[in-house]
């Protein structure tokens, strides 16, 4: 009954909170679940995350390769083994983040971004991607007063490109994406996510 679920969204969208909330609900329902985040969730990934978020500015291509080095480690060491054991994997960010941030916002060639993502993941794709969509101004306002990382400190125009990238990805793959208005209440969002996940788990149980 293995299922791979990812959460995506701009800074301050609430995706991290909702991914953790889903993981706790799955645990409460006695569903074996592994919660991970990108970049990170492995020793190498955590070191790369600190460099990417708090280190010096790097070239867009270097940034792309660093994210995918962390991703390759995560997929190989954590995600694929968990899926092989029939577990649900909930991942806070995955390849769509790289397409939105390094592709649409940084301006790297989308074909190259997708090809490198493909190599890093070995072709692994989410069964469902939850996109929490909020206006950039609202997302950044939620982060106000916190010490922002290198990405959170980017100009608003950068974040607008990220959001538009996400919306374009969701438009192109409506069956994989569940796009939710992130301005709704936390419980309302969690309910919408759970309804879709319940359907997905039921289908996986039948076919698995």
Cβ proximity of 202 and 29 under 8 Å: no
Nearest to 44 by CA among 3, 72, 81: 72
The model's confidence at residue 204, banded by pLDDT at 50, 70 and 90, is: confident
Domain residue ranges in the chain: 3-207
**Cis before 16 (ω within 30):** no
pLDDT at 171 over 60: yes
pLDDT for the residue 203? 84
Read out DSSP for 89-157?
Answer: EEEES-HHHHIIIIIIIT---HHHHHHHHHHHHTT---SEEEEEE--HHHHHHHHTTS---TTTTS-HH
pLDDT in tens, 64-98: 999 999 999 999 999 999 999 999 999 999 999 99
pLDDT at 147 over 70: no
CA atoms within 13 A on the CB side of 171: 6
pLDDT at 14 over 90: yes
Percent of the chain with pLDDT over 90: 88
DSSP H/E element including 33:
strand 33-37
pLDDT higher for 142 or 124?
124
Nearest to 202 by CA among 94, 91, 127, 129: 127
Which class is 3-207 in CATH? alpha beta
Cβ proximity of 64 and 118 under 8 Å: no
Token pair 């006695």 is found at: 30
Cα–Cα distance measured from residue 179 to residue 193, given in angstroms and rounded to the nearest whole number: 10
């Amino acid at each position: 009954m293995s299922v791979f679920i990812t959460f995506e969204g701009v800074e301050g969208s609430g995706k991290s909170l909702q991914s953790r909330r889903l993981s706790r609900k799955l645990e409460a329902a006695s569903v074996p679940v592994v919660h991970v985040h990108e970049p990170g969730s492995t020793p190498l990934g955590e070191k790369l995350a600190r460099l990417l978020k708090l280190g010096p500015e790097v070239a867009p291509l270097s940034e792309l390769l660093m994210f995918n080095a962390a991703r390759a480690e995560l997929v190989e060491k954590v995600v694929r083994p968990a899926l092989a054991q029939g577990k649900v994997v909930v991942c806070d960010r995955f390849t769509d983040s790289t397409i939105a941030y390094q592709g649409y916002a940084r301006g790297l060639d989308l074909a190259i971004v997708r090809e490198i993502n493909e190599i890093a993941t070995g072709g692994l794709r989410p069964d469902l991607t939850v996109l929490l969509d909020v206006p950039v101004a609202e997302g950044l306002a939620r982060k106000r007063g916190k010490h922002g990382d290198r990405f959170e400190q980017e100009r608003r125009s950068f974040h607008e490109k990220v959001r538009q990238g996400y919306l374009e990805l969701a438009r192109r793959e409506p069956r994989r994406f569940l796009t939710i208005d992130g301005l709704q209440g936390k419980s309302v969002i969690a309910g919408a996510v759970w309804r879709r996940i319940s359907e997905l788990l039921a289908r996986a149980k039948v076919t698995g």
